A and B are shown apart, each in its own frame.
Chain A
Amino acid sequence: MRTIEVCLGSSCFLKGAYAVLDTFVALQRQHGLEDDVRVAGAFCQEHCREGVSVAVDGTIYSVPDKDTARALFTRLFSTESTP
């Protein structure tokens, strides 16, 4: 099971972390990946400056908006690239 953890800490919250979380949840459903990818919230990932911080399988990405979220999802989870 792969994981997407969206930081919902103080800084990331103010930068719109819930919108990013919602985007990942929608994409997960859209791609029918509920059993393969776990989308969760997280506390401060200690990268506040680059927030919204999103940890995918432990690697931290900076995802400032929905578009970046979509692009990241496509890059890491499109069917071809799923191991």
Chain B
Amino acid sequence: MYLDVQYRQRQKAGEELCGDSIAVHRGDDETVLVLADGLGSGVKANILATLTQKIALTLVKAHLPIEEVVETIAATLPTCKVRNLAYSTFTIIRTAADGATELVEFDNPPVFFYRDGLLHDLPRQERRVGALTLQQTAFTLREGDVLVVVSDGVTHAGIGGREPLGWRWEPIARHLEVLVSHDLEAEEVADNLLEAADGLYQGNVGDDTSLMVIKCRPYREVTLAVGPPRQERDDTVMATRLAAADGTKIVCGGTTAKLIARELNRTLEVDLSVDARDMPPPGKIAGIDLVTEGVITIMHAIDALDAVRLHKPRVQVHDVHYLYGRPAKQAAFALARPAAPTPENPAETLARYLRLADRVTLLLGCALNPAHQNPELPMHLGLKFHLVDHLAQKLRARGKTVEVVTYD
């Protein structure tokens, strides 16, 4: 099981720094997540929140009991003299590899928890540590569970504007439930939530706004073979590695597809059922999830990477508020999907697999230009390397682990 963690932040309008601080720590046997919200806004709040987050992370990583973590934070951070308040609220989540999870909350909006697509209550225990009253709970996460942590900039979204009382916890919980029940990716939920908050603030963000979406799902691996190896004996090595890989298997390039099919003793067919005329057609090899042409398709896939549809929607949702009986003109956000999605072309399929991957292994063959290739056309080796490099960079920028294995 893997925790897909996606967070988004906006600072209060006019401030240069966000007064909330988020930490994501992935250890060998645990994941620690912290969201701290410093009192006030701007530089001071940022320093307070960062300090709280760093102390919490360091001590939780060192396996100190939660009481000690909180005591240390309380002792280290002065309370605000004017308001006599502890000056940073926080949420700490620690999940072990088996899903066993501890959640500690101090004055942040309660964490939203979804199981089987439905909002669930997490029975919290109140706990006093020094002057602070904490909410604490322990539970076990399992596949499909979603947790959403927000700072009060989200629950207050709209104050002074579209929502005089702010967005508030309950409506947010219901909004999230619709997103989660559609099995959206963590990043889609995070983007949608931020967009909705932005919409309520109408461009004038009244408070630091932070959110973190955590989705438990299987780890996704993609192995992609592109280009024939320079040494012929590496053909077998590359094909064997691809065939033995976990997860999704992809081949890009006609010549590469031929050698993979040959090495694996399978047939290669051109698939003309996909009607995409702006790139060469995909192919089919048994046991390989996607077979495409090389550079042209990869070029289109790089273009499609940012905007590609990650899932085919199961239900068409136009307006979330509509589902809850609120007049459409009050709807703060809409989740629009095209009624009849156009079929995916091979570049989009490639882009979708890559976007959904956590780890991408690129098996890059470095054979020199085959003599049969046309020197007038930009099919040369340099272009292929450049594209693979560019693709790897874009994927890394999205937080994916990318490994390039070359055969030269």
A interface residues (Cβ-Cβ under 8 A, vs B): 8-11, 13-14, 17-18, 40-44, 46-49, 51
Contacts and interface: CB of A to CB of B under 8 A. Distances in A.
Contact of A43 (B270, B272, B277, B373): B270
A46 B372 contact: yes
Nearest to B293: A10
A13 to B, nearest CB: 4
B283 A43 contact: yes
B279 interface: yes
Interface stretch (B54-62, B105-113, B250-258, B389-397): B250-258
A47 B294 CA distance: 17
Contact of B268 (A9, A18, A40, A43): A43
Contact of A10 (B270, B272, B379): B379
B180 interface: no
Interface in B262-317: 268, 270, 272, 277, 279-281, 283, 293-296
Interface string B362-391: 000000001011100101000000000000
Given A8-B270, A18-B277, A44 B296 contact: no
B297 to A, nearest CB: 9
Contacts of B281: 8, 41
Given A8-B281, A9-B280, A48-B377, 8 more contacts: A9-B293, A11-B374, A40-B270, A41-B270, A43-B257, A44-B254, A46-B372, A48-B379
26 contacts: A8-B270, A8-B280, A8-B281, A9-B254, A10-B254, A10-B377, A11-B373, A11-B377, A11-B379, A13-B296, A14-B377, A17-B280, A18-B277, A40-B270, A41-B270, A41-B281, A43-B254, A43-B268, A43-B270, A43-B283, A43-B293, A44-B255, A44-B258, A44-B372, A48-B379, A49-B372
B379 A43 contact: no
A17 B272 CA distance: 13
A42 B268 CA distance: 9
A10 B372 contact: no
Q: Helix, strand, loop or mixed for chain B's interface?
A: loop
Contacts of A11: 373-374, 377, 379
A9 B374 CA distance: 12
A48 B270 contact: no
Contacts of B379: 10-11, 48
Nearest to A9: B254
A41 B29 CA distance: 50
**Which 5 pairs of residues, A with B, have the shortest CB-CB distance?**
A43-B254, A41-B270, A44-B254, A46-B372, A13-B280
Contact of B296 (A14, A18, A40, A51): A14
Nearest to B370: A46
B276 to A, nearest CB: 10
A65 B370 CA distance: 24
Nearest to B253: A10
A56 B275 CA distance: 24
A48 B254 contact: no
Contacts of B258: 43-44
A69 to B, nearest CB: 17
Most buried by A among B268, B279, B373: B373
A10 B296 contact: yes
Contacts of A44: 254-255, 258, 372
Contacts of B279: 13
A46 to B, nearest CB: 4
A17 B377 CA distance: 14
Contacts of A47: 372
Given A10-B293, A13-B279, A13-B296, A41 B377 contact: no
Contacts of B294: 10
